Amino acid sequence: MVPISWYLMLAALLFAIGTIGALTRRNGISIFLSIELMLNAANLTLVAYSRQMGDRTGQLIVFFVMAVAAAEAAVGLALFIAVFRSRRTIDVNRLNLMRW
């Protein structure tokens, strides 16, 4: 049986990689994928604690979080497509959508 600390270390590593990716990337899709990696690290933590406690509630929450993440991915990619069609780039440093 694998100890829970291994799952938590893996989740922390995934979350750190996602955080570094979200803060250092300039491409919108790369930032979006890094945020999804951070979300999956949180899901791994929930599943690990759910397994440790012997309760299925954490796994049920992960199921709903993944459903919301799938909807978020569809909406986020649709926004990236719309921005690319109007601006011809998804580089977040070049986008100034909030300016006049």
Radius of gyration of the chain (CA): 17
42-81 pLDDT tens trace = 999 999 999 999 999 989 999 999 999 999 889 988 988 9
Predicted pLDDT of residue 24: 94
This model's pTM is above 0.75 = yes
Backbone CA torsion sign across 12, 17, 23, 28: negative
Going from the N-terminus, what domains does the chain have, and what CATH number goes with each? 4-87 (1.10.287.3510)
pLDDT value at 95 more than 90: no
Strand, coil or helix: 91: strand
- Tell me the CB-side half-sphere exposure of residue 25, using CA atoms within 13 A: 16
Is residue 100 over pLDDT 60? no
